[in-house]
Structure 1
Amino acid sequence: MKEKDNFEMVINLRKIKTGKRTGRSKRAVKFVRKIVARHFNADKVVIDPLLAKSISKNGNDKVVSKVRVVVSKVGEKIYLVRLAIKSR
């Protein structure tokens, strides 16, 4: 299988909104980390602070429903997740 060094994906965060209202942004960041680790078979996933801030831009209780991210390979089974810049 081909290595994925730089990959763009959209992560749906609607499942986060079904739980408790408190701490949704923290759960959303953990969910992004879990999805990337499962998709890329990663041992360590590093989240960019700008991505964490954009997930909770409406507050900690009102997370966005979808987020577009770029996953870059940093080292052996270490991946960096950044917010994708829209090109419109």
Structure 2
Amino acid sequence: DFRRDSALRDRERRLPLAELDVFSRSGLWGISVPKEYGGAGVSNVTLAKVTALIAQADASLGQIPQNHFYALEVLRVNGNPEQQKRLYAE
């Protein structure tokens, strides 16, 4: 579904808003959140593979979550338990 009309959206410089809504409802924003905080807890390798698959279908959609996943990784590596509990819940 993400692939449908992605070239047209790129050509017309339109954001993939409907596709982003589907992405959000899918739960993929939490794919790298550790399991103990309610996420899928996938490895960075799996995260990269999933992101690559999405980007193959829709390059614009594939780029949107990159800062989000980076922030989650910074939180995982540098956050204290209180920060992790509060922010991962969001």
TM-score range, shorter chain: 0.3 to 0.5
Structure 2 length normalisation: TM-score?
0.32
Higher relative contact order (CA 8 A, sep 6+): 1
Question: Which structure: larger Rg?
Answer: 2
Going by fraction, where is helix more abundant, 1 or 2?
2
